[in-house]
Amino acid sequence: MAKGFGGMGMGGMNMNNIMKQAQKMQKKMEETQAALAEKTIETTSGGGAVKIVITGKKVIQSIKINPEVVDSDDVEMLEDLILSAVNEAVRQADEYANNEMAKVTGGLGGGMF
């Protein structure tokens, strides 16, 4: 049985290094998560008719609508512009968050953040 655990002393040392690296990575991930909450991303649709501001944590902070596109006879068009802008804002927030977390994890996260 002792042969099965040969080199355990070195393995223990490597385990300590792995644990230290994991702790550093965890701290950096926490810092990155906090930074994502502060980061804002602005996106528009309809050539600027609708503007969305969203955080890196996908919290929508504001929606601005250009008064020129408000047409009571075509509410559906305005709804489509808002939907498009929100979806693009969320997509960009996801992309930004994934890129920032990949810097920390070396790409190990696989888009899970």
Look at residue 113 and tell me if it is in a domain. no
Look at residue 81 and tell me if it is in a domain. yes
Counting the structural domains of the chain, the total is 1
The answer to whether 49 touches 84, Cβ cutoff 8 Å, is no
Domain that holds residue 36: 8-105
Q: What is the pLDDT of residues 53-91, one digit of tens each?
A: 999 888 999 999 999 988 889 889 889 999 999 999 999
Residue 46 belongs to domain with CATH number: 3.30.1310.10
Sequence-separated (6 or more) residues with CB below 8 Å from residue 22 = none
Look at residue 62 and tell me if it is in a domain. yes
Q: What is the pLDDT of residues 18-63, one digit of tens each?
A: 888 888 888 988 888 888 888 999 999 999 999 999 998 889 999 9
Look at residue 3 and tell me if it is in a domain. no
